[in-house]
Structure 1
Amino acid sequence: MKKQVDKSHYEFAKYVAKPRWASMWHQLDEVMRLKPERVLEIGPGPGVFKAMASLFGVSVETLDIDPELNPDHVASVLEMPFEDGDFDVVCAFQMLEHIPFDQSMQAFGEMARVARSKVIISLPDARPVWPLSVHIPRTGALQMLVPRPWSGPKRHDFNGEHYWEINKKGFDLNFVVRELRKIPRLNMTKTYRVWDFPYHRFFIFGVR
């Protein structure tokens, strides 16, 4: 494994667009509600998640193969230097698609091995949708994602970063979910797309 981008890829003006902030809110929300003592983040990128979590007293350690990103642990996700169940929560946000699919499932298995309670991931979902918000009096906004008609799955070509994406040809959602569920010790409790940024789909797994 080798890094795909240098540190400049994560500069604020290039990387942290407003919709991505919405996805980062979900990252923090999913982890904070668990009240974990020790969290491992795989692929920290610019380090925003760790910085935000630390403001609220959550201890996050990071792992990456790129020392330029200043991770706490420089290592491969395919063979992490931790004991079984070392972390309460293990997460990887928009990371697993950066390695070939078979290796991403191997990496997911390693995440399950070192997790004690939860595994949280997000992945790109390429199915086109329209975010729709309807205001209902006395109730508030009802937010929906409406699939775009006549938009079948497209072939995914490696673009130097993503090897695969959900709902590209050969990687429909049901297939990806089946493969994720093959990983021992894990039980998927929910999956959803971020309304403000539907390209990001979250998966939450409990450890059995």
Structure 2
Amino acid sequence: MFEQGSVLEIGSGPVGLGRFRKVPFVGCDVSFPFEPSWPMTPMVASATELPLKDNEFDVVVASDVLEHVPPHLRKMVISEALRVARKLVIFGFPSGRPAWESDRELLNVYVKSKRTPPGWLSEHMDAPFPESEIFEGLEGWEMRQQGNESISFHSWLMQKEMSGIFNRASSLGMQIAPSLVEMLLRRADRGPFYRQIFTLRSTKND
């Protein structure tokens, strides 16, 4: 999907899509903990006010970002992503009360084991997860929704990632055989889903 055309990733962090596809892209975030490397070109900016022209990128991606945005700013992030995209926008984020409750249980596991929870998990508790209704009323875009990653698998994986040995093994697997890891992860795509993916295609030129 990303082999041709320009790509912007919102909330990329220092690696982003470069972990899965060695195709040049622009990664946007409010800050980078370390200097990003190829294939990313980094851009420091807020997702609510992108310093970009209208229709500047063919594809815009925002993965596991919207749930970290305060609810009153989420539609602004969506609007900015649609503004700078020519053809395609992809949002993926944990969605629904059951997914939120699974993360609350995961947080309790960290607390009971007296371990510091990761920042993203603590932030997940700040507000309800976004729902599909957030995309209602969009004009000029055709939307497709699909579930991603079962809640039970997500919970199992996140608890496994509390182990340094598991993290090193999974990181090695991603480096050696990313396609195999991706295929195995796809097998976890069954309901009830932890995450929802929304693909929006522009209909302006139809």
Q: TM-score, normalised by structure 1?
A: 0.57
- Looking at structure 2, the residues matched to 108 and 69 of structure 1 have their Cα atoms a distance apart, in angstroms, of 27
1:165 is displaced (CA, Å) by: 3.9
Q: 1:101 to 1:70 in 2, by over 3 A?
A: farther
Q: Deviations over 1:58-117 (max 9, x none)?
A: 321100001325461001111101111111110110001111112011011000000111
- Looking at structure 2, the residues matched to 70 and 207 of structure 1 have their Cα atoms a distance apart, in angstroms, of 33
Write the letter of the residue equivalent to 1:201. Answer: Q
Write the letter of the residue equivalent to 1:81. Answer: P
Equivalent position of 1:95 in the other structure: 65
Equivalent positions of 1:165-204 (< 5 A) are 165-166=128-129, 176-195=131-150, 196=188, 198-204=193-199
| Secondary structure, counterpart of 2:144 in structure 1 | strand
Q: Where does the alignment leave 5 or more consecutive residues of structure 2 unmatched?
A: 37-41, 105-120, 151-187
Query: RMSD between aligned alpha carbons?
Result: 2.8
The answer as to whether partners of 1:193 and 1:201 remain within 8 angstroms in 2 is yes
Equivalent positions of 1:1-208 (< 5 A) are 31-32=1-2, 35-54=3-22, 58-70=23-35, 72-128=42-98, 160-162=122-124, 163-166=126-129, 176-195=131-150, 196=188, 198-208=193-203
- Looking at structure 2, the residues matched to 191 and 164 of structure 1 have their Cα atoms a distance apart, in angstroms, of 23
The answer as to whether partners of 1:109 and 1:183 remain within 8 angstroms in 2 is no
Q: Where does the alignment leave 5 or more consecutive residues of structure 1 unmatched?
A: 1-30, 130-150
| Secondary structure, counterpart of 1:67 in structure 2 | coil
1:190 is displaced (CA, Å) by: 2.7
